[in-house]
Amino acid sequence: MNQRIKSAAGGLLYIFCNYFIANIPCWTIRKLLYKLCGMKIGRHSRIMMKVIVQLPWRISLGERSYINEHCYLDGRGGVSIGNDVTIALHSMIITATHDTLDTQFSMITEPVHIGNCVWVAARATILNGCVLQDRCVIAAGSVVRPHEVCEENTIYSGVPAVKLKQRGLVVGVQQPIWKPFFR
């Protein structure tokens, strides 16, 4: 009986987040409701409309980070997103998969950690267990394989994503930080 209640509550929360909150045009109201659902959202960070969110209480978003429209954030395994991160249109962060060695295809969940000053370009996919270190870039349409560690200050591209080149940033020199238009 308890499992049925939990399952029904989870289903209702999914509907509330993705069919109600995700369609509210006012960011401040959306942010308040996501926070009430347990999501941790830093100052000046935004989640745009039409973002699909699973288990919001397992998602943490740092300061001045931006999740663009039509993204998918899967909190089942846990998602940690740092400061000054940009996740572009239609990108997906997926923290769960199925065990192909199990006849029942049991679910496996593993956290995804995204460091600071990371850019995930349009339609990129980040899979379970990945770590995107500070200042790395994932090119548009790329797929980062499970358990991949993307080095800091590096650009990754392709399916599967491979190291393309260093970004050429001078580490230790203060880089300009995005300033919000409206506070």
Domain boundaries, the chain: 2-166
For the chain, the average pLDDT equals 90
pLDDT for 110-160, tens place per residue?
A: 999 999 999 999 999 999 999 999 999 999 999 999 999 999 999 999 999
Q: Is the pLDDT of residue 174 over 70?
A: no
- What is the CATH superfamily name and number for domain 2-166? Hexapeptide repeat proteins (2.160.10.10)
Quote the pLDDT of residue 135. Answer: 95
Angle ∠(93,102,159) on CA atoms, nearest 5: 35
CB 96 within 8 A of CB 114: no
d(C-alpha 138, C-alpha 116), whole Å: 13
pLDDT for 66-114, tens place per residue?
A: 999 999 999 999 999 999 999 999 999 999 999 989 899 999 999 999 9
Q: Which of the 8 DSSP states describes residue 77?
A: S
